[in-house]
Every structure is written in structure tokens, then in C-alpha cells.
Amino acid sequence: MSESASHPLETLEAAAEQMETLLSSARRRVWLQTRCRVLNSLPEFHLAQHLSRVARRTRHPDLRILIDDDLELKRTQPRLVQTASRLSSSISVRCYAPEQETPGTLLLVVDRHSWLYLIQHQGQVGLRSEDDDPPGTHSAAEDYEAEWAVSSEALELRRLSI
């Protein structure tokens, strides 16, 4: 278990490290829900590589990204967008519905055992991460599913056939 609410930069670095650790253990499911500004504030980590690895090594991967602004994602995270486009049958990208509250948070759910929650508010950053917590992961997955159910397709990331 890890909880942190120290200096914002240190907390963001810790979040990126913990996300890297959780993602490297992913076998089938990776669900990410975030605002672009939160994702972009993190030090570099290898999200696209981890999603690609899971998609290629798993028969039925469950890879989802729920974002607030697909155009911003396309502009600021080109490697992630390229991976999602190339593996469009394995990676689903959706956008919050316009009426959905989108606070400065990031939720990562990995398989059935790990989760991470990061919040940014008024210059403060809070982090909570669990790497072996099936009940907590189930609860985080239910929260994610509720947001996913009312979201819509990421129009900027559609593959258009001509």
C-alpha cells in the first residue's frame, strides 16, 4: 500500500513510478480514466508500450482509456494515440459525456488486483495505490464502469475507412 500527499512534484514522480510498476504486472485488463492535464503533468512513463504488450500477448485484452478531451490527447500524447489507433480492436478510447464532472483525477485499474488513484486540487496532489487489493480493485472498477457507461466514442481517434 502506498499513500502520499507530500510535495506535488515528488508525488507526481511517485505516481509515475507506481503506474510503471502496476502496468508492468498487467496481464489482461488496464483501465485508465483521467483528464489530459493530469496525464500530461506526470513524468514520462511507458503507457503505450505496456498497452501494446498486453494487447499482443493476451487473447482477449480489456484495455480502456477514458479521457476528457480526445483532441488534447491527440496533440499531447502522440505515441499513446498512435498505439491506440494501431491496436484499435484491442484498445477502446472514450470521452466523458459533456455533463459528466471531470475533476483533476487519474484512476488506473490493473487486472483484478491493483489500482491507483491520483488527485490534483488547488496545487496539492494526493496519491493512493494498492498492488494486491482485490476488494479495492473491484470497487475502483465499479466506479470506472459507471463513468464508462455514460461516456461516448472518442471522435478524434476514430479509424475512418475510405
Residue 145: pLDDT band (50, 70, 90) is: very high
Distance CA 101, CA 33 (A): 12
**70 sits in which H/E element:** helix 70-76
What is the CB neighbour count within 10 angstroms for residue 43?
Answer: 12
Q: For 82-137, how does the pLDDT look when each residue is reduced to its tens digit (9 = 90+)? A: 999 999 889 999 998 877 776 789 999 999 999 999 998 877 889 999 999 999 99
DSSP 3-state of 123: coil
- Are the CB atoms for 106 and 125 separated by under 8 Å? no
Give 123's contacts (C-beta < 8 A, 6+ positions apart): 8
Full-model pTM: 0.89
Average pLDDT for the chain: 89
Q: Indicate the pairing of strand 91-95 with strand 62-67.
A: parallel
At 76 the pLDDT is: 95
Q: Quick one: pLDDT band at residue 161, thresholds 50, 70, 90?
A: very low
**Domains of the chain, CATH where assigned:** 2-150 (3.30.870.10)
Q: What does the alpha-carbon distance between residue 133 and residue 141 come to, in Å, rounded to a whole number?
A: 12
